[in-house]
């Protein structure tokens, strides 16, 4: 079994859960970070079933002290860190004219700053293992719209931040990239559709059925689709991918 250790934030559900379970095939231990202890334990069971040791840390990365604690606990348990996969982060979907300062701040607090702090605190350990970092952005970074102003702004900032970390990583021996998922069917997306559908005179199921054709894709993505991309980037086959913003969206974005 591999002795490598990966930290996955946002591991309680969706893409984070799927990625943690997928990485259990390649890593000896997977550290699971999120705010829902019950859901984290469910992910941990699946990680163990896939063959890796699971270490659960129920914590909120919005708190500036948490990132350092996660790294310290990981090193205390395993003695090394080989990958940090930053997936945590729910950004408010509010029109650009209606967003409050508090909503803007909250949008950046977890997805951007939580990921930044976790990466910074893990950096020395990653240098020792020639490790890897993935930041999770999204398609809206390239196609900002008024209703998704904060999502787009945070995602664009993440792509830029990942580039900066990647530049430092070429000196320090740490691989850094960002991944931009398109329309992936998660609990969060379904929750959005539950608000969108009645506002547009549709049932939720009608809205879910119509959306793929409206944006020009054949189907929604699955969390497992993104998890496989994450695993490839972190694998030996993907180790020359550096500073890239990797989009996986089923063809939603048509621009070059």
What domains can be seen in the chain, in order of their start residue? 5-184+222-248 (3.40.50.720), 185-220 (no CATH)
Strands 83-86 and 245-248: unpaired
Instruction: Assess whether pLDDT exceeds 80 at residue 192.
Output: no
Question: What are the pLDDT digits (tens) for 70-90?
Answer: 999 999 999 999 999 999 998
Estimate to the nearest angstrom the gap between the alpha carbon of 93 and the chain centroid: 17
Tokens 């659960």 correspond to: 56
Secondary structure class of 88 (helix, strand, coil): coil
The C-alpha atoms of residue 244 and residue 12 are separated, in whole angstroms, by 26
Higher pLDDT residue, 193 or 122? 122
Give residue 12's pLDDT: 97
Instruction: Assess whether pLDDT exceeds 90 at residue 135.
Output: yes
What is the average per-residue pLDDT within 15-35? 98
Question: What are the pLDDT digits (tens) for 53-72?
Answer: 999 999 999 999 999 999 99
What is the average per-residue pLDDT within 139-155? 91
Instruction: Assess whether pLDDT exceeds 70 at residue 197.
Output: yes
Give residue 92's pLDDT: 80
Cβ atoms 93, 147 nearer than 8 A: yes
Mean residue pLDDT across the chain? 95
Q: How confident is the model at residue 164 (pLDDT cuts 50, 70, 90)?
A: very high
Class of residue 156 by CB neighbours under 10 A (exposed 0-12, middle 13-18, buried 19+)? middle
Question: What are the pLDDT digits (tens) for 200-224?
Answer: 888 989 888 888 998 899 999 999 9
Give residue 102's pLDDT: 93
**Taking Cα atoms as reference points, which of 130, 160, 135, 149 lies closest to residue 239?**
130
Which has the minimum average pLDDT: 20-34, 131-145, 182-196? 182-196
What is the average per-residue pLDDT within 97-121? 95
Percent residues over pLDDT 70 in the chain: 100
Give residue 198's pLDDT: 87
Give residue 202's pLDDT: 87
Alpha helices (H) along 130-222: 149-172, 187-199, 204-215
pTM of the model: 0.95
Instruction: Assess whether pLDDT exceeds 80 at residue 1.
Output: no
Cβ atoms 23, 8 nearer than 8 A: yes
The partner residues of 248 in beta bridges, in order of sequence, read 181
The C-alpha atoms of residue 167 and residue 25 are separated, in whole angstroms, by 29
What is the average per-residue pLDDT within 190-198? 81
What is the average per-residue pLDDT within 162-177? 98
């Amino acid at each position: 079994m591999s002795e490598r250790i990966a930290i996955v934030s946002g591991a309680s559900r969706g893409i984070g859960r799927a990625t943690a379970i997928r990485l259990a095939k390649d890593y000896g231990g997977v550290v699971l970070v999120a705010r829902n202890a019950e859901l984290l334990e469910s992910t941990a069971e699946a990680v163990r079933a896939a063959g890796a040791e699971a270490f659960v840390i129920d914590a909120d990365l919005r708190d500036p002290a948490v990132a350092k604690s996660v790294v310290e606990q990981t090193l205390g348990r395993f003695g090394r860190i080989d990958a940090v996969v930053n997936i945590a982060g729910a950004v408010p979907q509010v029109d650009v004219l209606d967003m409050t300062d508090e909503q803007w701040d909250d949008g950046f607090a977890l997805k951007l700053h939580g990921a930044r702090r976790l990466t910074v605190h893990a950096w020395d350990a990653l240098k020792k293992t020639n490790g890897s970092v993935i930041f999770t952005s999204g398609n809206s970074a390239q196609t900002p719209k008024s209703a998704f102003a904060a999502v787009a702004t945070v995602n664009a900032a993440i792509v830029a931040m990942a580039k900066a970390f990647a530049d430092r990583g070429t000196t320090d021996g740490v691989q850094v990239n960002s991944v931009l998922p398109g329309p992936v069917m998660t609990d969060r997306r379904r929750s959005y559709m539950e608000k969108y559908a009645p506002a547009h005179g549709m049932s939720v199921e009608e809205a879910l059925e119509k959306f793929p054709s409206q944006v020009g894709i054949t189907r929604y993505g699955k969390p497992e689709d993104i998890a496989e991309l994450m695993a490839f980037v972190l694998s030996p086959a993907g180790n020359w991918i550096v500073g890239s913003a990797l989009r996986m969206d089923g063809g939603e974005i048509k621009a070059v």
